[in-house]
Amino acid sequence: MAHTGNQIMNGWFSEICPMWPGMALSVEIEKTLVSTASPYQQIDLYQTRSYGKMLVLDGIIQLTERDEFAYHEMMAHVPLFAHPCPERVLVIGGGDGGTLREAARHKEIRILDICEIDGMVIDISKQYLPEVACGFDDPRVCVHIRDGNLFLDEHPDTYDVIIVDSSDPIGPGEALFEKPFYEKLKRALKPGGLVAAQGESVFIHQETVSRLFSIVKSLFDTRAYASITVPSYPGGTIGICLGSLGVALTQPSRTIPDAMQKHLKYYSEQVHKAAFALPRFAKTLLEQS
Ligand code: SPD
């Protein structure tokens, strides 16, 4: 819990983190709704002036009501539309429920497991962020309050799609950026399965992105990196690092059903494809990883 000190000044929350030294994203807050410590991390929830409610873990912004749709739609729909028929799906992390909410729009899914280490994040999200946490209400969802690494050990050859909706690689999320974790993810996939993980920013986390992508390259025959615009994340962009056991990733393999279209604000067939078109420096970084 190293990043929570002295971040609110004159009504402004500033996100200060050693992973992006020398810069801070500031958001004007009106009220602190929750400030508590779980066994894993500091959990804060603020009412902001212009971004709705904002969830902060260990001093780092996880979501705001205003722009969470961008991240959650892409984290769920890019991998789930890449797969031809995702019947059994696992979300690791994602205790706010946003990725579940989007995943649950896929009628092909029969079992939707979520493995989150910190049950307090789920409880607080259900209480204060009902429009995000509504993903937990779907009857196909099964919640496991567990360490993702241990959970994967017990589920070999089980999932069509695994989505790792993690925080940054400091604190509880650290182990989710290591090679042993990716080896376990691969073992937990069925043939033709794929994994999609929160992949940080190509602008400001080049070392992390490069290391993560080299792990994925060493384990998966098909891999790709997509970019999402999210104003409340550092630098305004965040990536998805994807690896598959043979399935193509950079375009949807199914049409978006009409019933789902009306709920989507960010994801589309064109956005799916365009998210993989990266600037030259990012392409070079990934090629050299
Ligand atoms: N730098 C913050 C990255 C946070 C990514 N995870 C967000 C979780 C939202 N479900």
Per-residue pLDDT of the chain (289 residues; tens, 9 = 90+): 445 555 899 999 999 998 888 999 999 999 999 999 999 999 999 999 999 999 999 999 999 999 999 999 999 999 999 999 999 999 999 999 999 999 999 999 999 999 999 999 999 999 999 999 999 999 999 999 999 999 999 999 999 999 999 999 987 788 999 999 999 999 999 999 999 999 999 999 999 999 999 999 999 999 999 999 999 999 999 999 999 999 999 999 999 999 999 999 999 999 999 999 999 999 999 999 9
Q: Nearest 5 degrees, angle CA 42-CA 128-CA 162?
A: 70
Q: In this predicted structure, what is the pLDDT of residue 1?
A: 47
Q: In this predicted structure, what is the pLDDT of residue 74?
A: 98
Instruction: Tell me, rounded to whole angstroms, the distance of Cα 258 from its chain centroid.
Output: 25
- Ligand 1 contact, 168 CB (< 6 A): yes
Q: Ligand 1 pocket: which of 71, 75, 204 to mutate (most atoms <8 Å of CB)?
A: 71
Q: Do 76 and 57 reside in the same domain of the chain?
A: no
Q: Ligand 1 pocket: which of 69, 117, 165, 177 to mutate (most atoms <8 Å of CB)?
A: 165
Give the C-alpha separation, 222 to 11, whole Å. Answer: 47
Give the C-alpha separation, 72 to 276, whole Å. Answer: 17
Give the C-alpha separation, 98 to 164, whole Å. Answer: 12
For residue 186, what is the domain's CATH number? 3.40.50.150
The range of the structural domain enclosing residue 98 comes to: 68-287
Whether the CB-CB separation of 245 and 192 falls below 8 Å is answered with yes
pTM (two decimals): 0.97
Q: Do 231 and 119 reside in the same domain of the chain?
A: yes
CA 21 to ligand 1 centroid distance, Å: 18
Q: Do 235 and 258 reside in the same domain of the chain?
A: yes
- Ligand 1 contact, 67 CB (< 6 A): no
13 assigned to some structural domain: yes
2 assigned to some structural domain: no
Q: Do 169 and 276 reside in the same domain of the chain?
A: yes
For residue 38, what is the domain's CATH number? 2.30.140.10
Domain count, the chain: 2
Q: Do 164 and 257 reside in the same domain of the chain?
A: yes
Q: Do 56 and 125 reside in the same domain of the chain?
A: no
Domain boundary among the residues 42, 64, 86 is at 64
- Ligand 1 contact, 57 CB (< 6 A): no
Q: In this predicted structure, what is the pLDDT of residue 3?
A: 53
Could you confirm whether 153 is annotated as catalytic? Answer: no
Q: Do 207 and 154 reside in the same domain of the chain?
A: yes
Q: Do 204 and 151 reside in the same domain of the chain?
A: yes
Q: Do 16 and 144 reside in the same domain of the chain?
A: no
Angle between helices 206-219 and 179-188 (to 10 degrees): 40
The residue type of 30 is: E
* Residue whose structure tokens are 């603020």: 46
- Closest residue by Cα to atom 3, ligand 1, is 167
